[in-house]
Chains A and B, each alone.
Chain A
Amino acid sequence: MLEFINSNIQIIYLVILMIFVGVELIEKVPSVLHTPLMSGANAIHGVVIIGAIIIMGQADNMFATLLGFVAVILGTLNVVGGFVVTDRMLEMFKKKK
């Protein structure tokens, strides 16, 4: 346990700090923005696609190639769809002249 904590100490710091940053960011959000914010956060966790790209890029057998390919498509859907939907929602909040 002690060994595990010591060898991963940087990552543990990062995780804890990020938890606080995440909480801090959301603390005061008007309810109007709940849905767009959720949608934006949804797009950001699409960062999982980087894992899919790594798998795809290193794939040297059929199993990894196929699953990696599907994972890249799904991840891209999450990222692109997420950002576009959020933008469409927010487009409607633009100031009226």
Chain B
Amino acid sequence: MNSQILQVIYLIGSVSFIIGLKMLSKPDTARKGNLVAAFGMTIAILGTIFLYEGILVSNYGWIFGGLIIGSILGTVTAKKVKMTQMPEMVSLFNGMGGACAMLISAVEFRHLTHANEAGNLPSGELLIIMLGLIIGSVSFVGSMVAWGKLSGRVKDYSLSFQQVVNIGLLLLILGAMFYTIYSGTPDVATYFYAIWTMSVIYGILFVLPIGGADMPVVISLLNSFTGVAAAMGGFLYDNKVMLVGGILVGSAGTLLTIVMCKAMNRSLTNVLIGNFGGSSAASEGSEKFGGTIREINASDSAILLKYASKVIFVPGYGLAVAQAQHVCHELEELLEKEGVEVKYAIHPVAGRMPGHMNVLLAESNVAYDKLVEMENINPEFATTDVVLVIGANDVVNPAAKTDPSSPIYGMPILDVENAKNIIIMKRSMKAGYAGIENELFYQPKSSMLFGDAKKTLTQLISEVKAL
């Protein structure tokens, strides 16, 4: 009876995942969709605790203890995190899920070896446990590395022959897995722990050489990995809600990864193999482009802005880092009051994640219709008097169109160079996240306004007011 009720609960849970994900893909219903999925998760968890056959009441303390600790930690970190750190946060939570799948495999492996004679383990179950272990470990460790990279704790680093090493290691892991399962070796445990170790190393080597600018794509990919790892649990326990949730995220996540790559006009292989070079080209800019940089101060910039009829803001990661979204909105309102038409040009991958800028600017109450996506804003630059680039770099680099040797060649960019004046706000002449020089800075129409985005914007506001 109990287990029959539980199956119905799992069915409702599964359907709510599907509906939730569907609603999440539309702006109007997205927030409700998240709640629908959360509801499905809650009933599935509670149902399992109270109705699953074989759950010992004496272990309720441990279960609720874990749930409470996890909920408090999860809520506090998720509430406290700044909007700029969202990408890291997603990566961190994704890693937790991967680690969970990994531990499940470890415990189930022990159960399996204790219940059966060595050398005579059921191959189907062993295969599922091994896959859960490998995928879970790679996802866990990979997410931790991605998290470290985004928060600046881990630097890009690649060995020579990195790709050969990676592929070799992956083949070794899979080979060892099949050998362990089908050879009937009595030494299963040793192989199991060796495979575990290799998977952890693979997770590190897989993410380490990938450039920081590509981290969103990697996180999305690892996200779908964890989905597949969760689905392995579904196979193991013949649990439909785990299976549906896991596979759904696995397939949706994979597609989302590809869509993100497309937004950058790159293929997934290109992201995974063609790592962005270091900053070798960083300091040779002025010789390379022949021009010189022109600096501009805040009061001259303010004059340009105030007497323009149309201004476009191009926000980037610099805006996010400086937490300048509110000041930015203030400047926009001030200019609008002076009769200047102000719009925001949103590049799909500006910041550290797709949609990052929308989230930030929406936080500071910038009207929805002022945020214009790349395809729609590009024709408008020609009629724009001033473009104010706020801490963006790679997304306005003309090298993406003109220099086939550039690592970002082929990525669609914002055509800011068509505007009459370009003011580029930057902290220093340092190269952007992709580690490459930007020719735009050396063009005669461009001027550089150095400083922290928030401070400089505040200065601009007071200068405009003073005029």
User: CA–CA, A28 to B25, complex, Å?
Assistant: 8
Which residues in window 50-85 of A have CB below 8 A to B? 50-60, 63-65, 67-85
User: Please, how many angstroms separate the alpha-carbon atoms of A26 and B223 in the complex?
Assistant: 14
Known: A40-B24, A78-B93. A48 touches B226 (CB 8 A): yes
- Most chain B CB within a 10 A radius of its CB, from A26, A43, A51: A51
CA distance A54 to B38 in the complex (A): 20
Cα separation A25 to B90 with both chains bound (whole Å): 20
Residue A23 CB within 8 A of the other chain:
yes
Q: Are B44 and A22 in contact (CB under 8 A)?
A: no
Cβ of A9 within 8 Å of any chain B Cβ, yes or no, is no
Q: Are A51 and B55 within 8 A (Cβ)?
A: no
Check if B241 sits within 8 Å of A55, measured CB to CB: no
Given the known interface contacts A11-B243, A45-B226, A56-B59, the answer about A22 and B251 at a Cβ–Cβ threshold of 8 Å is yes
Judging by beta carbons under 8 Å apart, are A37 and B74 in contact? no
B407 proximal to A (CB < 8 A)? no
B65 within 8 A of A: yes
Mask, B67-82, CB within 8 Å of A = 1, is 1011101110111010
- A29 interfacial by beta-carbon distance below 8 Å: yes
Stretch in B144-152, B229-237, B268-276 touching the partner: B229-237
A69-B65 in contact (CB<8A): yes
Give the one of B110, B223, B241, B367 with max A CB within 10 A: B223
Closest B residue to A70 using CB positions: B103
What 0/1 readout, one digit per residue, does chain A (8-33) give for beta carbons within 8 Å of chain B? 00010011001111110111111111
- A52 interface neighbour in B86, B100, B124, B246, Cβ under 8 Å: B100
Point out the residue from A18, A33, A50, A71 that lies within 8 Å of B239, measured CB to CB: A50
Give the residue of B77, B216, B223 whose beta carbon is less than 8 angstroms from that of A42. B223
Nearest neighbor of A40 in chain B, beta-carbon distance: B24
Return the contact of A50 from the options B33, B44, B108 (Cβ within 8 A). Answer: B44
B156-164, B312-320, B349-357: which lies at the A interface?
B349-357
Q: Which residue of A lies closest to B31 (CB)?
A: A90
Binds A, one of B254-262, B301-309, B396-404, B434-442: B254-262
A78 to B231, alpha carbons, bound, how many Å? 15
Contacts of B38 in A (CB 8 A): 43, 83
> Given A33-B30, A74-B99, A90-B31, are A19 and B251 neighbors across the interface (CB < 8 Å)?
yes
Q: Chain A contact residues (Cβ within 8 angstroms of B): what range?
A: 35 or more
B31 near A94 (CB under 8 angstroms)?
Answer: yes
Inter-chain contacts of A23 with B (CB < 8 A): 251-252, 255
Residues on B with C-beta less than 8 A from A36 are 24, 30, 34, 355, 359
B290 at the interface (CB under 8 A from A): no
Least distance between B187 CB and chain A CB atoms (Å): 19
Q: Decide: A34 near B240, CB < 8 A? Known: A77-B96, A88-B78, A93-B30.
A: no
Which B residues are in CB contact (< 8 Å) with A57?
Answer: 49, 52, 54-56, 59, 63
Q: Is the CB of B63 within 8 A of A29?
A: no
Q: Is the CB of A47 within 8 A of B242?
A: yes
Question: Which residues of chain B come closer than 8 Å to A67, judged between CB atoms?
Answer: 103, 106-107
Given A14-B240, A35-B356, A88-B78, do A77 and B62 touch, yes or no (CB 8 Å)? no
Q: Are B355 and A31 in contact (CB under 8 A)?
A: yes
Give A79 Cβ to nearest chain B Cβ, in Å: 6
Q: Known: A18-B248, A80-B78. Is A45-B227 also a contact (CB below 8 A)?
A: yes
Q: Which residue of B lies closest to A83 (CB)?
A: B38
Contacts of B93 in A (CB 8 A): 42-43, 46, 77-78, 81-82, 85
For the complex of A and B, list the 6 residue pairs with the smallest distance between their C-beta atoms, beginning with the closest.
A76-B70, A72-B66, A22-B251, A57-B55, A80-B74, A81-B74
Q: Which residues of A contact B (CB under 8 A)?
A: 4, 11, 14-15, 18-23, 25-60, 63-65, 67-96
5 chain-A/chain-B pairs, Cβ below 8 angstroms: A23-B255, A26-B25, A38-B216, A75-B70, A83-B37
19 new A-B pairs (CB below 8 Å) besides A52-B66, A76-B74?
A14-B244, A18-B247, A20-B251, A25-B21, A34-B354, A37-B25, A40-B24, A42-B97, A43-B38, A43-B93, A48-B97, A53-B52, A56-B63, A64-B111, A68-B107, A69-B62, A74-B103, A79-B41, A96-B368
